[in-house]
Amino acid sequence: MAISGALIRKLRVEVGLTQERLARLVGVSQAHVAKIERGVVDPRLSTVNRILQVLDGWKSRRCRDIMSSGVIFARLRDRVLDVSDKMVKHCISQVPVIERGRVVGTVTEESIMRRLGSDIDKRTVKEVMVSPLPIVSEETDVEKIKGLLKTYQGVLVSRGMRIVGIVTRSDLLKFLCEPV
């Protein structure tokens, strides 16, 4: 198969990169990428190789590659103030709730704020939690969770039946900004 500008454009669009982002990752100008895609210039082999390497690396990223491990959990009977302290200490905005090894809900900054009152010191996680975050396999392609992160603050990542990580909107933004 010949590598043409049209093929490079097709691959770039498939992985969701702009010409500008691809250019930055490859180390060339956006105008040069545009010319390559239009077939106006015949790029050096080293430039084509770098483009293909970036596109291949971008396409094959899995949740395990960008997740944060060491997920902090809460239990139904935990006090909201204790969980809130953990959230502040670890700079996180949501905490999955587990009971008997199952994820049963999520405590978020917003769910705490909605129920904030003078009796907050007496409230338990069970009273403020919202629906659980979705769970995906660690082998799930990053592209597939972008849609979930439009609706949810995070996505839990599992290995078999065990939660091994979380991908948040912040993790996705870091991934989008890092070189491949």
Q: Say what the pTM is.
A: 0.68
The pLDDT confidence band at residue 180, using thresholds 50, 70 and 90, is very low
How much is the pLDDT for 176?
66
When mean pLDDT is compared across 42-46, 54-58, 64-68, 116-120, the lowest value belongs to 54-58
Spell out the domain ranges in the chain: 5-60, 64-177
Strands 94-99 and 74-75: parallel
User: What average pLDDT does this structure show over 41-61?
Assistant: 83
- pLDDT confidence tier of residue 134, bands split at 50, 70 and 90: very high
Which is nearest to 43 in space by CA: 59, 22, 62? 22
Half-sphere exposure of 81 (CA within 13 A, CB side): 7
Q: CA-to-CA distance for 127 and 140, rounded, in angstroms?
A: 32
* Whole-number pLDDT of residue 122: 86
The pLDDT, as a whole number, for residue 55 is 84
CATH of domain 64-177: 3.10.580.10
Architecture of 5-60 per CATH?
A: Orthogonal Bundle (1.10)
Report the largest interatomic distance among the alpha carbons of the chain, rounded to a whole angstrom: 69
Task: Check residue 15 and give its pLDDT.
Answer: 79
β partners of residue 157: 136, 165
- Say which amino acid occupies 9: R
What mean pLDDT is predicted for residues 137-153? 88
pLDDT exceeds cutoff 50 at 136: yes
**Statement: residue 92 has pLDDT above 80:** yes
Mean residue pLDDT of the chain comes to 88
pLDDT at 1 over 80: no
**What number is the average pLDDT over the span 143-168?**
90
Mean pLDDT over 64-71 rounds to 89
pLDDT mean over 148-156: 91
